[in-house]
Structure 1
Amino acid sequence: MSLRRRLQAYVLGLHLVCFALTIGLYRTQLGLFIGLELLLLVTLAGGFHLVERALEPFDTTRRFQDLLLDQEYGARMKGGGATEIDALVRMFNKMLDALYQERLALGEQQGFLDRLLEATPSAVLVFDFDQRISLVNASAQALLGLDPAQAKGRPLDHWLGGAGQLRGAPGAGERARCLSLLEQLAALAPGEKAMLTDPDGRRYRGQRGQFIDRGFARHFLLLEELTAELENSERGAYEKLIRVLAHEVNNTVAATGSVLESLLYYRAQLAERDSADFCTAIVAVQRRNVSLGEFIERFTRVVKMPEPELRPTSVKEMVDDILWLNREQCKGRGIEICWTRCDAVAALPLDRQLMEQALLNIVKNAVEAVQARQDASGSGGGHVHLSLAHEAGAITLSVADSGDLLGQLTAHQLFTPFFTTKKGGQGIGLLFVREVLTRHGFGYRLAADSNGETRFDIVLARAQDQPG
């Protein structure tokens, strides 16, 4: 029985007892009996009324509870007229207003967070309480190949086991890159940050964090590509270093050259035998001095490289010239250098001088790699194959050689300033190539493939960038 019913039964029972007690006055004092009965009826009605008023705060609290359960935070309650009830209603309305403002602020923050996650260049994966993916932002779709429709509700191990299909059915190389990053992300412990790399040598910052949702921890993963940031930092460092070296070396070379020229005037004062040795020594030092100047000049050309002047250029004609320049040298060493595929491609906007020099470096490295393998094995043969392919929405120029000297090296090491795998190398050839391709906005990849070849792929244009 509810409290209301119990109170009403109590008031009614008390008055029934009083009614029973006054029955004895019915025969002796009829007037008093009637007066007491009327008074009891009035007090009974007043008792019921007071019960209703006493229980009104409970009704008000119940209505407030219903509004909370229905999440009707924008509604407001009306007062009942009594001072106590009005004070209670004002307090409840104040609480509803606070909840409404808080919910509005949370909605705005959630909307901002959703837009921020979509706009951020970092890949973001958010997991539910069962470690299943609940959110995949646009960067994660592009960087990790995950389709949000297929990813939601699945654990990260779904793709590592080979059961999941990556978005867009990427090629073998792209799939290997995505799976490598997913595997490294899955290995991160909560709160751990790590530097990750993909098979192409690009570097990323990975982090597994957590946040509290309804009193329980949920995990999220962040992945941010650092290649461009680190390359800019490296470029600034070596440009400063090269400028300092060039300044000091050029001053020394100029002064030394002047002194050496002056010393040659004294050869007439020496005996004929001493004069010949003196001149030979001076000329040898001069040659070395000139070589030192040329050495530092090659480094400064990378720093002082002008911005590309883009003009429509036939890639095939440009590469044909490079093939003719290297054909006789390769023929003498028994090296096959030729096109294996050359699709018809429209003229592309690029700086011919810079690109020609970069491609000369790439082909020269390929030929030298084959020669080094010949010298190591003591046998001839080998090849340098070029292809210009127009497929999969992109135009790709590839240079493949059978030298296969990369071993376990990553592309990042090869493009690091002053790093070289060649005896007597200076580590500026690929550095120059990287600068040229980066300034043109061309993608590139240098790696050993499964066929025992070293391939340098240059993406000259994608579908959305192609002229016409």
Structure 2
Amino acid sequence: MRLPSLKLQARLTAYLALLHLLLAGCAILLLLQQPILFIGAELLLVASMALGWWLVRRALEPLGYTRRFHDLLQDQQYASRLAAPGVTELDDLVGMFNGMLTALHRERLAIGEQQGFLERLLEATPSAVLVFDFDHAISLVNASASSLLGLGAPLGKPLSAWLGAGDDGEAAFDPALDERGRARSRDLVRQLDALALGESRLLVDMEGRRYRAQRSRFYDRGFARHFLIVEELTAELEDSERATYARLIRVLAHEVNNTVAATGSVLDSLLTYRGQLEERDAGDFVTAIVAVKRRNISLGEFIDRFTRVVKMPAPELRPTRLQDVVDDILWLNREQCNARGIQLGWSRCDAAGPLQLDVQLIEQALLNIVKNAVEAVDERNARDASKGGTIRVELEDLGERVRLSVTDSGGLLENAPPHRLFTPFVSTKKGGQGIGLMFVREVLGRHGCTYALAPAGAGETRFDIWFPQS
């Protein structure tokens, strides 16, 4: 705006000068005939020139204020104010400009406060949030998303940057992640990158944790930008499943136990008729009755195994050395492993201190895990006509946590989705009922443990449990 105002001032000045020069030329004609009129005409021309110059300056003065207002807007100096010149017309213009600056200043403060609140809210929210720029590169990632995905230096990169194979892909993850952690993060990134706009989907990672992920968009300066919200639902869904299974098992137990009790009573009564049968029929009669009674007992024991999970008591926590619990479990399984040619390995860590555990519950859970490992090796041997195998148990002190790992060479998880293994009625073993891991999940959950069951490569399966240190 500066150059147009100068040009206009120059044009108006040139116009006034040219006009008065012409008038001055006409006044020269009076010089010889009427000198007094000439002098009066010249004085009037000088006064007119001065008046015209003053009027031009007053007319262009609003443009000067407009130029200063433009400079303030361009420099974003919304807290500044223009001084009033004391002229009625200009005072109104300056008041309007100052009102606009005040409104902009207040709006800027409000936007800044909202932006600060949103940033603090995003950092505090337990949901993972990723915001992308116009080119779909990450422009914002909160603390929950950093912890969940473990992306190294994520700003300015699209999600697809973490899906590459080889060293470049590995280098993009947090260096603190191990190989399994990087594989888990890459799997989650792959699922998130595949989400379409407006889609909401339940995601499951390699460790069985479940998440609700949604991709949406907002508009920034007229252009659409995408963002992702990821919320972990593992505990909520497990509580819902637990309540559903509890109701189902109670109904089944009630109906089955009533039927078994009534059937058992009838069968006992039928045995009293044995003496009324001929000897050749009595044997078959008793055999059939005993077989049905044995089946009744098996059915009752089957239901009892489910009800023990549902009716599990609250853990009674006491300081316990996990090393001693593992020693006892391995001693109990030593003979049967030797008979099957299975080698038991135990990497004991005496530096780990006592943990707050319910000995009976933890012992039963670890017995189930070792029992599953033995059965997995047996099943592999039966399938491949091989002999022997290995089961390795390792305890490691990680500072705030203690990690217990059970690795077997059974390899039953090579073609099985690990995230479904802790679901009731799901099992990778032939004839398995899916009760053991459900019991293990309940026990570990009540002790505040995290766990992971996944293939470990080379045909092995690894069960990791992280116990919190008190």
TM range (shorter): 0.7 to 0.9
Change (3 A) 1:158 1:379: closer
Residue of 125, 137, 155 corresponding to 1:152: 155
Alignment of 1:71-150 (within 5 A): 71-147=76-152, 150=153
User: In the TM superposition, what whole-angstrom CA distance separates every residue of 1:60-80 from its partner, at most 9, and x where no partner exists?
Assistant: 211211111111112233434
Deviation at 1:96, TM superposition (A): 1.9
User: In the TM superposition, what whole-angstrom CA distance separates every residue of 1:83-106 from its partner, at most 9, and x where no partner exists?
Assistant: 433332333223222222221221
Partner of 2:378: 371
Deviation at 1:312, TM superposition (A): 0.7
Q: Is the 8 A contact 1:411 1:447 kept in 2?
A: yes
| Residues 1:267 and 2:301 are matched in the alignment | no
**How far apart are the structure 2 equivalents of 1:144 and 1:377?**
39
Deviation at 1:223, TM superposition (A): 3.6
Partner of 1:212: 219
Change (3 A) 1:321 1:272: farther
Alignment of 1:197-276 (within 5 A): 197-261=204-268, 263-264=269-270, 267=273, 270-271=276-277, 273=279
Partner of 2:3: none
AA aligned opposite 1:37: E
CA RMSD of aligned residues (A): 2.8
Deviation at 1:418, TM superposition (A): 0.9
Residue of 292, 310, 313 corresponding to 1:306: 313
Residue of 61, 66, 69 corresponding to 1:64: 69
After TM superposition, which residue ranges in structure 1, 4 or more long, deviate above 6 angstroms? none
Gaps of 5+ in 2: 1-5
Gaps of 5+ in 1: none
AA aligned opposite 2:192: L
AA aligned opposite 1:408: N
**How far apart are the structure 2 equivalents of 1:276 and 1:176?**
63
Three-state SS of the structure 2 residue aligned to 1:56 is helix
Three-state SS of the structure 1 residue aligned to 2:246 is helix
Deviation at 1:435, TM superposition (A): 0.8
Q: Which moved more, 1:168-177 or 1:72-81?
A: 72-81
Residue of 350, 354, 359 corresponding to 2:361: 354
Partner of 1:38: 43
Q: Which moved more, 1:39-48 or 1:66-75?
A: 39-48
Residue of 20, 35, 52 corresponding to 1:15: 20
Change (3 A) 1:265 1:404: closer
Q: Which moved more, 1:423-432 or 1:385-394?
A: 385-394
Three-state SS of the structure 2 residue aligned to 1:74 is coil
User: In the TM superposition, what whole-angstrom CA distance separates every residue of 1:191-221 from its partner, at most 9, and x where no partner exists?
Assistant: 5554444333433344444433333343434
> Paired residues, what number?
460
TM-score, scaled relative to structure 2? 0.87
User: In the TM superposition, what whole-angstrom CA distance separates every residue of 1:126-157 from its partner, at most 9, and x where no partner exists?
Assistant: 3334444332321222122223xx33334444
**How far apart are the structure 1 equivalents of 2:94 and 2:13?**
25
TM-score, scaled relative to structure 1? 0.88
Change (3 A) 1:159 1:269: closer
**How far apart are the structure 2 equivalents of 1:265 and 1:301?**
32
Q: Which moved more, 1:246-255 or 1:291-300?
A: 246-255
| Residues 1:48 and 2:82 are matched in the alignment | no
Q: Is the 8 A contact 2:411 2:455 kept in 1?
A: yes
Residue of 430, 435, 457 corresponding to 1:428: 435
Q: Is the 8 A contact 2:13 2:53 kept in 1?
A: yes
Change (3 A) 1:43 1:405: same
Alignment of 1:299-448 (within 5 A): 299-391=306-398, 394-448=401-455
**How far apart are the structure 2 equivalents of 1:60 and 1:73?**
15
Deviation at 1:438, TM superposition (A): 1.2
**How far apart are the structure 1 equivalents of 2:82 and 2:243?**
66
Deviation at 1:353, TM superposition (A): 0.9
**How far apart are the structure 2 equivalents of 1:21 and 1:405?**
115
